[in-house]
Amino acid sequence: MSPNPRKLNVFVIAHPDDESMFFIPTIRALQQHESESKIWLLCLTTGDYDGLGKARVKELEKASYDVLGIDRVIQLNELKDHPTESWSIDQATQCLRACLRQEIDNDAQKYSKICIFTFDQDGVSGHINHRDTFLAVRQLYLEEQESGFSSTERDLSLPAKLMVFLLETEPSLFQKYFPVYEWLSLILFWIHLVPQISSFKYDGPSHVKELVFRLRYPCLNWRAMATHRSQFVWYRRLFVVFSCYTYVNRLKNLGPDLPKAKQLVRT
């Protein structure tokens, strides 16, 4: 007898260490308030631009399993890490779809909903692989919304309803690297003047447009990023301390922006 259907949360990232640099507030919120859901991490490259791919994959697994408590890490090898060269979005989407479908089919758990968390169109840091990750996820989402699949395409479609939330790129450099409001909120929380969030729910109506998650214990980001030893150079240490993504994640639902998203297709 199969288990009751649950929600599957999948973080789709471009490089090993993206999860620790950008998404920890969301990961922790899901773990604390959706204990019945599963959290997977799907990384589209090995981060091999500097020839450190094997080491970075091991670091990703250690950070994800030992520090962050991720349920499953999925590593793809078909796409290449590069700071200036774009991927084929069709290829990236096909790899993403095939991998997700295979992993879900091989899982004994049945899922009622799949929720992907990834970058927005600006890629948070502007890295071209981040922006292409968004394009691939968006194309997957658009294809899942289309009706009239052929029999072959239907066999490749995901077995549950898909939602996508995009991590918003902070447009202000000052707010991005000097998040005064988040620091103040954190201090007030520590001295018990701001209550901790005690309720969390967003998986009802699909028209929910935005999610905001704050991390009250940012030392977790330092521990996770320090596990990526090959990448933990001085400027990334400063990033962990000063980046707004250490303290807060603001995510928007791709669904309400679907007409706009259809205008941004690149293959």
Rounded to whole angstroms, how far apart are CA atoms 151 and 217? 49
129-163 residue pLDDT tens: 999 999 999 999 999 987 544 444 555 678 888 99
Kindly tell me if the per-residue pLDDT of 199 is higher than 50.
Answer: no
Percent of the chain whose predicted confidence (pLDDT) is above 70:
83
DSSP SS3 for 113: strand
pLDDT digits 0-9 by tens, 90-119:
999 999 999 999 999 998 888 989 999 999
Q: Encode pLDDT of 156-197 as tens digits.
A: 678 888 999 999 999 988 889 888 778 777 777 766 655 554
Domain extent listing, the chain = 6-256
- The Cα–Cα gap between 110 and 257 comes to 29
Residue 120 CA from chain centroid, whole number = 10
Describe the crossing of helices 234-242 and 219-227 by its angle, rounded to 10 degrees: 150
Nearest to 10 by CA among 104, 78, 121: 104
Pair type for strands 6-13 and 210-214: unpaired
Q: Give the per-residue pLDDT at 198.
A: 39
pLDDT digits (tens, 9 = 90+) for 33-42: 888 899 999 9
Residue 263 above 70 pLDDT?
no
Give percent of the chain above pLDDT 90: 64
What crossing angle do the helices spanning 89-105 and 128-145 adopt, rounded to 10°? 60
How far apart are the C-alpha atoms of 192 and 101, rounded to whole Å?
Answer: 45
Does residue 202 surpass a pLDDT of 80?
no
- Name the class of domain 6-256: alpha beta
Judge whether 163 and 206 are in contact, CB under 8 Å. Answer: yes
| Predicted pLDDT of residue 267 | 40
Q: Residue written as tokens 């990703």?
A: 60
- Whole-structure pTM value: 0.88
